[in-house]
Structure 1
Amino acid sequence: MRSAQSSVRAQHVYSIDVQRGPLWPYVTIEFEKDLYFLSKPQLKEALGALQPGDEVTIDGSKAPFIDHAMRNMLYDYWETANVQGIHYKLRNVVLNCKPE
């Protein structure tokens, strides 16, 4: 059972691909497959590495399922990106209202 858990964890850890374009400031954060809460540290790291002036596209085209916790993280980041001077847009990602 332990190896099955490790396998599931490994599958989700590498579900986010960050590509910085050859011409700054274009960045694409692409979800390579369904996005579960196990990928939260990886998404947090990707968002934390963004710099003021970056133009970021979050692409969920390959992720038909995005976990509620991950949607909340994206929503929270959406609210603060403008304050940080980061232009943030979503492609094939739907955010719900933030829960109270």
Structure 2
Amino acid sequence: MEQKQWAVADIEVTMVDSHANMKIMSKKKTGQLMKIVVGLQNLRLTILHLNVTTLDDMVEEGSQLNSVDEIAAAVNQLLRKVQQELDYQLN
């Protein structure tokens, strides 16, 4: 009887010359990152750069921002304010 293996992560791989760029999206589990790094090394893949991002599907309880557009607008406003403060400090 054939046993099916279901994907445990979304994996995207792109190649340029002999360099592979991988994006792996999976649920966060304790010890997972180190095991992935060791596994990649065991596959004889050298890691040149490693970025890790964690995401939660919820907005913090106290937040008044409830949509993607509201969050994007608030972050844009924040970035404008930071840029203005930096410009003022330089002058």
Q: TM-score scaled by structure 2?
A: 0.30
Which protein has the larger Cα radius of gyration, Structure 1 or Structure 2?
2
* Greater relative CO (CA pairs within 8 A, separation 6+): 1
TM-score for both structures, normalised by structure 1: 0.28
Q: Which of the pair is proportionally richer in strand?
A: 1
